[in-house]
Chain A
Amino acid sequence: MNTYVTGAVSALSMIVATSALAEPTAEVLHYWTSGGEAKSVAVLQKEFADKGGSWTDMPVAGGGGDAAMTALRARVLSGNAPTAVQLKGPAIQEWYEEGVLADISSVAEANDWETVLPASIAGHMKCEGTWCAAPVNVHRVDWIWANAEVLNANGIEMPTTWDEFNAAADKLQEAGIIPLAHGGQAWQDATIFEAVALGILGPDGYRKAFVELDNETLTSDAMIAVFDQMRTLRGYVDSNFSGRDWNLATSMVMNGEAAFQIMGDWAKGEFMAAGKVPGEDFLCASAPGEGFLYNVDSFAMFDVDGDDKKAGQELLAELVVGQNFQKVFNLNKGSIPARTDVALDEFDDCARLSADDMQASSDSDALLPSYAHGMALRGAQAGAITDVVTAHFNSDMSSADAVQMLADGIANSM
C-alpha cells in the first residue's frame, strides 16, 4: 500500500514537473587524485549527495592536468562532454569561445558572487559578462618555505630581497647544506622564474611582461637580470634535481637536507601532513618583492543535455562557492578560500598571512595572475615562455640569449 502510494506520487511528480524535480547528477572530470586533494573532493561529493545529487567521479591524473585535458578534448569533440570540469584561467574563456560552456549566471546572481569574490578573481569566472565557472580556492604561488631549525643553526633570517637570499644561500652552501630544494620539471622551473620575475620587475613590470606580453619589458635589462638570478639559483640546487617531484623537494626541506623551497602553498599541505607546525618547524614568507601571484582552481560547467545534469550543474556551482565547502576544502588543500567572507579562525598563520596579503595586494593593484600555472596567458604563449625558462635553467645559455629566445618564442606562438 505504502509503496504503491509513493510510487504513484513520484510518477505524478515526474509528469507534473520533470525539470524542477529531476535528480541532480554530475559527472565530474578532475585531476585531484591524491592525498589531501582527493579528500577535499570527497567533501564536495558528500555535500552533493546530501542534497540528493548523484556524483560520478572521472579522475584523470598526470602531467598537471595534461591527461585530463586530452580526455576533455576527446569528450567535447565526440559530443559527450562531462557535466563539470576542473578548468582554470584563460582556458575557461578559450572553451567558452568554442561555444561549449553553460551559463551559470542564475546561480551566481542568486548567491551574490559579485560581492563575495575579489574583483580580479571574479573576472576569471566570467565570459562576456555571464558567469561560466565557479572558483574553489586561491593558491598563492610566490612563497618561500624554509626549515626553521636549519636557518636558526646558521644564523639566517628569512630573506626579504634576492640579494639577501643569495647571501644566505652562499652561507648555507659553505655549511654543506643544499640551499634550494627544487625539482627539475618545466613547471617547477617556471614557478621559480615567475617568483623571481615578480620580485625584480615589480608588479607593474610583471603585468606588462606576462599578462600584456609587452615586447619592451620582455627584452629589457631587468629581464636579463631575472635570468641572471635564475642562473644564480641554478648554482644553489643539488646536482640530482632533474625530474624530481615537487613533494620530494618539500621533504628535503622538511628533513633538513635543504634549507629553502620556492613553491606555491600546496607545499604547506605536505608540511602539515607530516605533522610539522608553521612558525616552529617550518617558516613561510612571500618571495622577495611586492605583489601576490594567484592560482585559482575552478570548475567550469559544460553545455549538456538533460534536466538532471543541468540541475546537477546548478547544485554543484552553488555548493562549490558555498561557505562550508570553501572552508573545508581549503583547510585540506593548503590554499585559502576564494570568497572573502569566510572566517579564517581554523586556518594556520601562513594562510592568514596569505589572506591579508591578498587583500593588501588587491587594494594596491598588485594582485596578479600566475603565468606558470596557466592563469595569465593562453596555453601556447605560456608554453613558449616555459620552454625558454626551462631550456635556460638546464643549460649554460646566457641571459641575453634567453631574453632574445623569449621574444622570438612569444612572437612565434601567436
Chain B
Amino acid sequence: MIKWLEENTPKLVLAPSFIAVLIFVYGFIAWTAWVSLTRSRLLPKYEIEGFIQYERLFASPRWETAFGNLFVFGTLFIVIAMVLGLALAILLDQNIRTEGAIRTIYLYPMALSMIVTGTAWKWILNPGLGLEAMVRGWGFENFTFDWLVDPDKAIYTIVLAAIWQSSGFVMALFLAGLRSVDGEIIKAAQVDGIPTWRVYTAIIIPAMAPIFLSAFIVLSHLAVKSFDLVIALTGGGPGYATDLPATYMYAMAFSRGDIGQAASSAMIMMLVVFSIVVPYLYSELRSKDG
C-alpha cells in the first residue's frame, strides 16, 4: 500500500487539476458544442436541432464583419507588437543608463485593465476632445485624426490600444531572450569584425526562435480573447464596424437572449484557437521528448 502510494504520488498530485481541467474546460467545451446544436434562446435547452445555428451564423453580415476583423486586428496586432517589442528590446539592450525606469514605463500598460485605461484612450482618440482638438488648438487647423469615428478605420484604433497594452510585455520577453544568448559567441563574432547588424540578424535573432514562438502564442491568445478593449473603446461601433468574435458572442448570449447562436460562434472561435495551439504544442513537446 505504502509502496503503491509512493509510486503514484506524482499522479495523485496531478489528479485534482486533471479532473478540474476535464470538467471545467473540456466538459464545458462539450456543453457549448451541444448547445450550439440546439435552439436555445434565453436559457440553455438540450433538444438537438442540427446545424441551424451555424447556418444562421454564416448568413449573418455582422458575424462576417466580426470574423474578418479578427484577422485584420489579429495580424496587425501580432506583427506590429512583435516587431516593436523586438526593436525596443534591442534598443534597450545598448547599455542604457536608465534601463530600469524605461523598462517599467514600457511594461506598465500590461498591469492595467482596459476597463481602467479605456476611458483615457477614448478621450485621447476622440477627435472633438483629444489629440485632434489639441493639435488644432496649437494652430494646425488641418490636422485630422478621426479614426475612432471612421467605420473603415476604427478597427485600427483597437489595434493601436492593444499594441500599447501588450508591446511592453513582448519587449520584456525579448529582452530576457537577448540576455540569455551566449555572450561568448557574440564576442567572438565581434572580434572577427562582423558588423553589429549582422551579429543580430545572423546570430542573436535566430537563437531566440523559441521566444518568437512564446510571444506569438501569448499575443494570439490575447487577440482571440480581446473583449474589454473593444467594449471600453468603441463598444463595437461605429455601427458594428469594430465587432470581434468575442464581443459578437457576448452580445448574442447576454443582450439578445440567443444562446444557441452564441454557442455556435464560440465553437468557431475555439476552432481558430485550436488551429494555432495544436501546431505549437506539437513542436513544443516533440523537441522536449526528442
Within the complex, the shortest CB–CB distance from A47 to chain B, in Å, comes to 31
Does B255 contact A186, Cβ atoms closer than 8 Å?
A: no
Q: Say yes or no for B239: interface residue by CB 8 A criterion.
A: yes
Picked from B235, B237, B253, the residue with its CB within 8 Å of the CB of A394 is B237
Within the complex, the shortest CB–CB distance from B13 to chain A, in Å, comes to 30
- B195-242 contacts to A, CB under 8 A, are 231, 234-241
Picked from A185, A383, A390, the residue with its CB within 8 Å of the CB of B255 is A383
The main secondary structure of chain A at its interface with chain B is helix
Given the complex of chains A and B, what is the CA–CA distance between A405 and B61 in angstroms?
Answer: 9
Given the complex of chains A and B, what is the CA–CA distance between A409 and B63 in angstroms?
Answer: 12
Binds B, one of A66-74, A269-277, A344-352: A66-74
Does B239 contact A378, Cβ atoms closer than 8 Å?
A: no
Does B149 contact A243, Cβ atoms closer than 8 Å?
A: yes
**Residues of chain B lying within 8 A (CB to CB) of residue A184:** 149, 237-238
Q: Say yes or no for A379: interface residue by CB 8 A criterion.
A: yes
Does A69 contact B255, Cβ atoms closer than 8 Å?
A: yes
Q: Say yes or no for A20: interface residue by CB 8 A criterion.
A: no
Given the complex of chains A and B, what is the CA–CA distance between A391 and B66 in angstroms?
Answer: 13
Q: Which of B60, B149, B234 has the most CB of A within 10 A?
A: B149
Report, as a range, how many residues of chain B touch the other chain: 35 or more
Q: Say yes or no for B127: interface residue by CB 8 A criterion.
A: yes
Does B237 contact A185, Cβ atoms closer than 8 Å?
A: yes
The main secondary structure of chain B at its interface with chain A is loop
Contacts A73-B43, A77-B43, A240-B127; is A383 near B146 (CB within 8 Å)? no
Does B60 contact A243, Cβ atoms closer than 8 Å?
A: no
Within the complex, the shortest CB–CB distance from A100 to chain B, in Å, comes to 8
**Residues of chain B lying within 8 A (CB to CB) of residue A73:** 42-43, 253-254
Interface 0/1 of A366-380, CB less than 8 Å to B: 000000000000111
Binds B, one of A48-56, A90-98, A212-220: A90-98
Binds A, one of B87-95, B186-194, B256-264: B256-264
Does B251 contact A383, Cβ atoms closer than 8 Å?
A: yes
Does B255 contact A241, Cβ atoms closer than 8 Å?
A: no
- CB closest residue in chain A, given B149: A242
Within the complex, the shortest CB–CB distance from B231 to chain A, in Å, comes to 8
Picked from B62, B122, B149, the residue with its CB within 8 Å of the CB of A240 is B149
Within the complex, the shortest CB–CB distance from B167 to chain A, in Å, comes to 25
**Residues of chain A lying within 8 A (CB to CB) of residue B231:** 63
Contacts A186-B240, A390-B239, A395-B239; is A379 near B59 (CB within 8 Å)? no
Within the complex, the shortest CB–CB distance from A406 to chain B, in Å, comes to 11
Does A380 contact B238, Cβ atoms closer than 8 Å?
A: no
- B14-55 contacts to A, CB under 8 A, are 41-43
Does B42 contact A243, Cβ atoms closer than 8 Å?
A: no
Given the complex of chains A and B, what is the CA–CA distance between A205 and B288 in angstroms?
Answer: 69
Contacts A94-B41, A405-B61; is A379 near B239 (CB within 8 Å)? no
Q: Say yes or no for A76: interface residue by CB 8 A criterion.
A: yes
**Residues of chain B lying within 8 A (CB to CB) of residue A390:** 237-240
Does B126 contact A240, Cβ atoms closer than 8 Å?
A: yes
- A28-83 contacts to B, CB under 8 A, are 63, 65-66, 69-70, 73, 76-77
Does B240 contact A391, Cβ atoms closer than 8 Å?
A: yes
Contacts A77-B43, A387-B62, A394-B151; is A243 near B238 (CB within 8 Å)? yes
- CB closest residue in chain A, given B60: A412
Q: Say yes or no for A239: interface residue by CB 8 A criterion.
A: yes
Q: Say yes or no for B128: interface residue by CB 8 A criterion.
A: yes
- A312-354 contacts to B, CB under 8 A, are none
Contacts A66-B254, A387-B62, A391-B61; is A186 near B237 (CB within 8 Å)? yes
Does B255 contact A394, Cβ atoms closer than 8 Å?
A: no
Given the complex of chains A and B, what is the CA–CA distance between A380 and B252 in angstroms?
Answer: 8
Given the complex of chains A and B, what is the CA–CA distance between A240 and B236 in angstroms?
Answer: 16
**Residues of chain A lying within 8 A (CB to CB) of residue B236:** 186
Given the complex of chains A and B, what is the CA–CA distance between A175 and B241 in angstroms?
Answer: 33
Interface pairs (25), CB distance under 8 Å: A63-B255, A66-B254, A69-B254, A70-B250, A73-B42, A91-B42, A95-B42, A97-B42, A186-B236, A186-B240, A240-B127, A243-B122, A243-B126, A378-B41, A380-B41, A382-B256, A383-B255, A383-B256, A383-B258, A387-B61, A391-B61, A391-B62, A395-B151, A412-B56, A413-B258
Q: Which 5 A-B pairs have the closest CB atoms?
A: A394-B239, A242-B149, A379-B257, A379-B256, A240-B128
New A-B contacts (5) at CB < 8 Å, excluding given A76-B43, A243-B122, A383-B251: A63-B235, A383-B256, A387-B240, A394-B239, A408-B59
Interface residues of A (CB under 8 A from B): 63, 65-66, 69-70, 73, 76-77, 91, 94-95, 97-98, 184-186, 239-243, 378-380, 382-383, 387, 390-391, 393-395, 405, 408-409, 412-413
